[in-house]
Amino acid sequence: MLHAGGPQGPNTVESSPPPPNPVRKLRPWYLVAAMVLTWVIGVQGLATGFAQISYLRSGSVLTAQTLAPQVDQAEPMQYVAVAGEAARLRAMADERRITFPLSVARLLLSGLLVVGSGLAMAGRPNARSLALQALLANVALALLEYTLTRPVRGAWIEVVVAAWAAVPGTIPERDVFQNRDVWWWMWRLRLGVVDLGALGLAAFALTRPRSTTFFEAAAHAHASERGDE
């Protein structure tokens, strides 16, 4: 500790580091992990929503030929992936009346998820309530989107199955890749594990007793700071 104007002078400069924030010590690691995960999901949703809105507004319709080489000139996985993506985008354009509002909703709710996750991780006042509302809204959107976009998934599956049938050579997994039921179940697993599972885990982390203690302590500290001003 350095002093100016005597041992106990009025102009005292602290040379030691500030004490650690006691509230941060109460923040559980799983809350941080969950909020980082949902923040990443939100950022990805922002990018996806913006890309889909831009594509649907452009009025263009993509085909596999514009996105990938001919089947005999491309790697099998590359051709199938690009052909399926072209079919998905074309189906989205055909169902623009449904997919455009869903894309706008994804853009807005993903932004809300990003904000809510960041504020909750920092322990800001009312952040847990905002984060839970953002999670619930994104869960509802995922279920609504899955229900309304069945034709888009169907178009993607039909093209992927046909693309695997057209791939030359012998591939051991061909029978599996040409099974439509397998692809339908993969979409269902994606909905349950990726779209809903991660958000459900985040909601679980927000409502744990240790998380509740952290948010209560953070709110108390914030109220104390405002009272000292």
Classify residue 209: in a domain, yes or no: no
Judge whether 11 lies within some domain.
no
Q: Is residue 16 part of a domain?
A: no
In a domain, 129, yes or no: yes
Number of domains in the chain: 1
pLDDT of residue 131: 96
pLDDT at residue 136 in the model: 97
CB 132 within 8 A of CB 211: no
- 155 in a domain, yes or no? yes
Q: pTM of the prediction?
A: 0.79
Place of tokens 């952290």: 214
pLDDT at 168: 67
List, as own/partner pairs, every contact residues 161-167 make where C-beta atoms lie below 8 angstroms and the sequence separation is at least 24, other chains included: 163/64, 163/71, 163/79, 163/80, 163/83, 163/84, 164/76, 164/80, 166/71, 167/71, 167/76, 167/79, 167/80
Q: Is residue 201 part of a domain?
A: no
User: Is residue 180 domain-resident?
Assistant: yes
Range of the domain at 148: 31-193
pLDDT in tens, the chain (229 residues): 444 444 545 454 444 444 445 667 788 999 999 999 999 999 999 999 999 999 998 876 655 444 444 444 557 677 778 888 888 888 999 899 999 999 999 999 999 999 999 999 988 888 999 999 999 999 999 999 999 999 999 998 988 888 877 776 666 666 777 888 989 999 999 999 989 999 999 999 999 999 999 998 888 887 776 665 5
The answer to whether residue 4 sits within a structural domain is: no
